Amino acid sequence: MSGVRVGVVGATGAVGRTMVAILEERDFPVAELRLMASSRSAGTKVATRWGEVEVEDLAVADPAGLDIALFSAGGDRSREHAPRFAAAGAVVVDNSSAFRRDPDVPLVVAGVNDHAVADRPRGIVANPNCTTMGLMMAAAPLHRAAGLTSMVASSYQSVSGSGQRGMDELVAQTRFFLDRGSEPLVDGGWEDPGGSVYPRPIGFNVIPFAGSEAEGGYTDEEWKLVHESRKILEAPDLRVEPTCVRVPVMVGHGIAATLRFGRPVGRDEALEVLAEAPGVQVWEDRVPTPLDSAGMDDVLVGRVRETLGEEGGINLWVVGDNLRKGAALNAVQIAELLI
């Protein structure tokens, strides 16, 4: 395709802005770029490689003529508008959770299950959750090699996963505590720094509750790890034990995972498989951290170890930029697969 008419929905948010930047970085063959967002951002002008683009009001925007629409506007707006865009002829790549469990919508991690984009009855392709995405980059090649049967995964998720509001709350609470230095505790705990994004303070803290309460005492983030991993790997019987934690980090999600397979897998084999996996860097000489992953397209894997209590499995650590591979980059890579 010589030129593609592309729409970015949610273009003024953190992920939407990153989508536009990645389209530029990867020389995506854009013939026309349209940017859309809520009414409060409509009329804003954005400088892009393809000229200055005025942001349109999503509620009244006409999707006619678009080839591909990259959505990062939240689940409610996706449910309302993605089918409208698909009906107008655009293939929608949706970054929200709205369609991930829909059997007629493929859930795609570029480099893992590329073949799935071909079967899209509703004209929509879903982007997985950013935490699932990073873990699948490491788990999928090992699954192909040895047949993954169970997974214990604990995530350490940055505040950018909650959007700009989460990042602003971390900054405000960090300043609050720094201003107070080492003053005495108040009533056995720190003075309340305020905040509305998280149920407990995130500044200088960790919250073992990422997402919102869903069912069985698990959060929606944890259920995403369960259901999305099974769908992406085409392994409906995969056993997943998830815990999702919010940490005071700006960008970059980390996941500590224990993986067990249909046969024993040693460290040397795991390293060999991971070294050949697309989009993965294995760090053996140093421990990868969220700061290392920020701004990187690849997912970083380190601390690859054989399991201790029950031999034959693999423990590893995965970290990736949740705004790039975890969201915007994967959406653009799906668009590349489509063309």
Q: Report pLDDT digits (tens) over 147-200.
A: 999 999 999 999 999 988 999 999 999 999 999 876 655 556 678 899 999 999
pLDDT band per the 50, 70, 90 thresholds, residue 88:
very high
Tell me where in the chain the CATH 3.40.50.720 domain(s) lie.
4-128+328-338
- Collapsing DSSP states into helix, strand and coil, what is residue 267? helix
Verify whether residue 81 is a known catalytic residue: no
Burial class (CB in 10 A: 0-12, 13-18, 19+), 220: middle
Query: Do 201 and 173 meet the contact criterion of CB atoms below 8 Å apart?
Result: yes
Name the nearest CA neighbour of 59 among 90, 80, 29, 86: 80
In degrees, to the nearest 5, what angle opens at C-alpha 249 toward C-alphas 246 and 253? 65
- Percent helix, percent strand, percent coil in the chain, to nearest 5: 30, 25, 40
Q: Which of 81, 143, 227, 253 is catalytic?
A: 253
**Taking all residues of the chain, what is their mean pLDDT, rounded to a whole number?**
95
Q: With a cut of 60, say whether residue 1 has pLDDT above it.
A: no
Whole-number percent of the chain with pLDDT over 90: 94
Give me the CATH code for the 132-158+206-322 domain, please.
3.30.360.10
Q: With a cut of 80, say whether residue 38 has pLDDT above it.
A: yes
Tell me where in the chain the CATH 3.30.360.10 domain(s) lie.
132-158+206-322
Query: Is 4-128+328-338 in CATH node 3.30.70.20?
Result: no
Rounded to 5 degrees, what are φ and ψ at 277?
Answer: -75, 130
Q: Which of 130, 143, 227, 244 is catalytic?
A: 130
Q: With a cut of 90, say whether residue 41 has pLDDT above it.
A: yes
Verify whether residue 143 is a known catalytic residue: no
Query: Do 293 and 225 meet the contact criterion of CB atoms below 8 Å apart?
Result: no
Q: With a cut of 70, say whether residue 34 has pLDDT above it.
A: yes
User: Which pLDDT value is given to residue 185?
Assistant: 57
pLDDT in tens, 215-250: 999 999 999 999 999 999 999 999 999 999 999 999
